[in-house]
Chains A and B, each alone.
Chain A
Amino acid sequence: MKIIVAIKQVPERDARIRIDAQAKWIDLTDVEFNLNESDAYALEEALLLKEAHGGEVVVISAGPERVGKTIREALAKGADRGIHIESDDLASYDALGVARLLAAAIEEEPEDADLILTGLQSDDLGLGQTGVIMAEILGLPHATLILKIEKTGNDIKVLRELEDGWFQHLDLPTPAVLTIQSGNSKLRYATLMGIKKAKTKEVRRVTVADLIHNDPEVKPADPVILLDEVMLPSKQRTTQMLSGTPAEAAAALVEKLQFEVRAL
């Protein structure tokens, strides 16, 4: 089974939020980056399938130089090789533009993948669409919010999360694109041996110019949606902040709950 996992490097969850000078994004100075959480689960599902059925796991990611580190981390966890679409101006693409790049690089693979996995949404932009858009570009069936993947002959059976604690099984032919929900499996850590091996694994670097050269269709059209500016959220309620030592803050809160909220 050949499985391609599209992964994204995102600012770490606790990154300090300062708006940059152009008010288009956060200031990335001193920001640490991590593998997007649901992409980590997509990688884990891919590695589990490979362990059960054999085959190859290829990770693909787009972005600047620093993305190479996230790709190496995926290789250290057990992915066999990587594809790095090098781009320093990914923010100038909309979701369709980014998905076109990923799809183009995937189509250049000599052997077709049986499955393309990715997380259900990114922790930074949170559009939750890249996998589904790729499926449409590649003409493949898809399913989203997937918790479990089971191989059934040439097809797969997946467990999909619905709202309010409901679930559903789906049968799909392969190749297919699945977007993976976080939390269903326990994520593995890279072993020392894995980290050592990762250094020698192949990472194919492709530039956007290469992709356009091979397929002029990939040439980025003007984005159809634009992020005009970012701003700090306005408060939806007036928050009374209770300060002091833990004991003082706790005492103040109990007083509020007693006399303002009348809940005690």
Chain B
Amino acid sequence: MSSVLVILEIKDRVISRISWEAMAAAHILAEGRGLPVDVAIVASPGNPILAKIQGKPPRTIHAVDHKLLHAYTADGYTEACAQLIAHLKPAYVIFPHTYQVRDFAPRLATRLKQVLISDVTGIETHAGAGPSAAPTFIRQLLQGKLNARYSHTGTGPCLLSIQAGAFRADASEGGTTTVEHFEPKLDAAQIRVQPGEPFRASAQTVDLGSASILVSVGRGIKEEANLPIVKDLAAALGAELAASRPICDAGWLPMERQVGSSGQTVAPKVYLAIGISGAIQHLVGMKGSQCIVAINKDENAPIFEVADYGIVGDLFEVVPALTTAIRKVKG
């Protein structure tokens, strides 16, 4: 029977929050289509993690287990998922949009003659039957400056990956779920890439997560020599300094001050985004902040979509004026 299949991801021995968000998205789609939700996870059937499924209970948990899947490889995961999908024949396959999914899901989609609709932020279900009632999916274009509505027209499963923070994970409910063991047929020769152990480049010495105010700087600052104006603002506010990726890549600030999908996820009381346009990769790291202030020269910058207060203007004029005004208030 057709279903919505969610592929959950384990990270640091727990099922990550973005997996529960993907499952919530799956339930929205499943309710609209009148389909059951099943989940699959790479784990042994006896793994205690299977008892920790959150949100609305799925119909079945497929424990996909093989010794060649113990370390993640794109080759192994693609082949295992392709076999699972051939076995279950789901109508939809939903992934959390993680780096790991970005690595193998496009390959899996190609093997199934499909295209992954990646980084989905919205699902629209439509009443009725027939092609006009097919669900549509929203994703962002042009670094978040534009939204697009996509539909799936192919025969065969529709594959989606769900952006972090786009759906709220459901509260857990009681219910019965059965666990089924699925052992894909894998051969060591199929795994062409040899993965090494993950490591951290350097010990983290700055904990942006504990700061109540963050002053975060992006490309708009133009040059390293201009950084003192944001440092002065941070000092006046008693804030920690953070940055978007290009600033850290350029070496102007250390990597550990980077906010976004490849850096830290923060949710301070106030987040001041200075000269940050607000690409998706940055927004997922800070959109949970209680209050977001954006200062940017481009009134169409996507950062203003998530901002509570916005100033459109030249940061080289606005930021020093703000520092002066704050010093006056704080005396």
A250 touches B318 (CB 8 A): yes
Q: Are B312 and A227 within 8 A (Cβ)?
A: no
**A237:B308 contact, CB within 8 angstroms:** yes
Question: Is B74 an interface residue when CB atoms closer than 8 A count as contact?
Answer: yes
Is A165's beta carbon under 8 Å from chain B? yes
Contact with B along A51-70 (1 / 0, CB 8 A): 00000000000000000000
Contact of B113 among A13, A224, A247 (CB under 8 A): A224
The reply to whether B145 and A233 form a contact with Cβ atoms under 8 Å apart is: yes
Digit string of B303-331 for contact with A (CB within 8 Å is 1, else 0)?
01111111111100110111011101110
The bracket for how many chain A residues form the interface is 35 or more
In the complex, the answer to whether B192 meets A223 with C-beta atoms within 8 Å is: no
Q: Which residue of A lies closest to B117 (CB)?
A: A225
Chain A's nearest CB lies how many Å from the CB of B283? Answer: 9
CB-based contact B270/A261 at 8 Å: yes
Cβ B146 vs Cβ A230 within 8 A: yes
Which of these binds chain B: A74-82, A140-148, A188-196, A199-207?
Answer: A140-148
Give CA–CA (A249, B307) in the complex, Å: 15
Inter-chain contact B146/A225, CB cutoff 8 Å: no
Residues of A within 8 A of B330 (CB): 264
Chain B residues within 8 Å of A34, by CB: none
A133 within 8 A of B: yes
Interface residues on B, range: 35 or more
Instruction: Select which of B196, B204, B264, B300 is within 8 A of A169 by beta carbon.
Output: B196
Question: What per-residue 1/0 map shows which CB atoms of B246-265 lie under 8 Å from chain A?
Answer: 10111000011010011111
Interface bits B51-88 vs A (CB < 8 Å: 1, else 0)? 00000000000000000000000110010000000000
Question: Smallest CB–CB gap between A78 and chain B, Å?
Answer: 21
Judging by beta carbons under 8 Å apart, are B106 and A247 in contact? no
Contact (Cβ within 8 A) A237 B118: no
- List the count of A-B residue pairs having beta carbons below 8 Å apart: 273
Q: Is there contact, CB below 8 Å, between B150 and A250?
A: no
Q: Is the CB of A128 within 8 A of B142?
A: no
Which B positions have Cβ atoms within 8 angstroms of A?
Answer: 11, 74-75, 78, 98-99, 102-104, 106-107, 109-111, 113-119, 136, 139-154, 156, 192-201, 204, 212-213, 237, 245-246, 248-250, 255-256, 258, 261-265, 269-270, 277, 280, 287, 290-294, 298, 300, 302, 304-314, 317-318, 320-322, 324-326, 328-330
Say whether, besides A17-B142, A163-B262, A224-B152, A263 and B212 are in contact (CB < 8 Å): yes
Report Cα–Cα, A142/B199, bound state, in Å.
21
Closest B residue to A135 using CB positions: B107
With contacts A184-B249, A224-B114, A246-B321 taken as known, whether A253 is within 8 angstroms of B194 at the C-beta atoms is: no
Pick from B115, B149, B298: contact of A129, CB under 8 Å = B115
CB contacts (< 8 Å) of B109 on chain A: these are 96, 129, 133
